[in-house]
Homo-oligomer: A and B are copies of this chain.
């Protein structure tokens, strides 16, 4: 499958963010810093077709600037290595041939140090371009798109390296110290939202991906939504109540997948001496019941909701409910790299942990909004062509850069994907 997470959108905003050198360099350097704890070997290996080597992420994000910004817009720019155009193309048919996705792990060459030199080369050229103000709007928009794209890959670097390390019997830790203090979780409550016409989707001058547009009206029946995400503790109850063995709780396709792959718990869990452990970016750790559940597929989220006499919210419901929630949360920058227990409750009727911690599966398949138009040109392949067979997740996770998220943001993955920090929040029809 080509369901590639390294892919979210084309710039819409007429008036883009201020893209000065600082912002550019700060985001680019953040990627490199993520590779800091890793060896060249760690960066070279691909642990499954859905994941990519860290080295590939570092090169592909650079290729994005070279291909979409420097090539067409920097006169006289010479590609660092012509063959990289093929090697580091993810899925842009309009750009031409590409190295097959499942073979990204075959590339011991270029070496990590060569990829870092490639980054330096391209950064220098982009900075040169940035120096020539005023920047045409379209160039500025493409640079902004490149930076947003880079942030998406920062999250993937973490989830992909977590998957790689989980396959190693030595269970390496990406980050040694365990930053989490156990905290008692609060009890979730139901928040009611009334029926009516709502507006969802993005509008305005700020950056967004094309798939968030146009802002449009939807009718929503009254519903209730949980004040907090489902926790690891909640999910352990589901397991103990034989949730993984009761076909009646599952979608048929989910049951088939769960049976065929022998799922008995979320990804990375292991039972030892009667206790649940899970593999984290800090190595193995006991499952903390007070933190939001993660590494569950859409199918597991859906089955859990049915078990809880609830359902997943639609993405419109989620957006209507979360639109006024605080954007603060546990993001990549916290360094926790793991969902955390809720410390303080938000105001009455406000969603807690709507942003950060874990992506929340919705009941909505990922499709075009009414009136949706793809961006023109090759960057139009960013989002539109993936609009089948996937489900929408909302709110960002502990691996998302904090400046990357907003209420209208639509992430999407196939219903069996589990290696992202994906969890859920319950909803119910109005009483």
Contact = CB atoms under 8 A, between A and B. Distances in A.
A253 B164 contact: no
A93 B43 CA distance: 32
Interface string A197-219: 10000000000000000001111
Given A108-B45, A371-B221, A415 B388 contact: yes
Given A99-B169, A106-B47, A221-B371, A386 B252 contact: yes
A105 B46 CA distance: 9
Contact of A108 (B111, B168, B255): B168
Given A41-B41, A110-B170, A388 B254 contact: yes
A247 interface: yes
Nearest to A391: B388
B415 A252 contact: no
Interface stretch (A71-79, A145-153, A263-271, A362-370): A362-370
B216 A218 contact: no
A83 B170 contact: yes
Given A94-B248, A219-B217, A221-B216, A106 B39 contact: no
B168 A3 contact: no
A251 interface: yes
A86 B171 CA distance: 14
Contacts of A111: 39, 41
Interface string A216-241: 11111100000000000000000000
A284 to B, nearest CB: 14
Contact of A42 (B45, B108, B371, B389): B108
A349 interface: no
Interface in A81-127: 83, 86-87, 91, 93-94, 99, 103, 105-112
A251 B415 contact: no
Nearest to A170: B109
Given A44-B108, A108-B41, A219 B219 contact: yes
Contacts of A86: 169
B253 A2 contact: yes
Contacts of A253: 1-3, 386, 388-389
A121 to B, nearest CB: 17
Contacts of A197: 197, 219
A15 B370 CA distance: 38
Interface string A1-30: 111000000000000000000000000000
A3 to B, nearest CB: 7
Given A41-B109, A45-B105, 14 more contacts: A39-B111, A40-B41, A44-B108, A83-B169, A83-B170, A87-B170, A103-B167, A106-B164, A109-B170, A110-B170, A221-B370, A255-B385, A364-B367, A370-B429
23 contacts: A2-B256, A3-B252, A41-B43, A41-B55, A41-B109, A44-B44, A44-B45, A45-B108, A83-B169, A87-B169, A103-B167, A108-B165, A109-B170, A197-B197, A219-B219, A251-B387, A252-B386, A252-B388, A253-B386, A255-B385, A311-B368, A364-B367, A365-B367
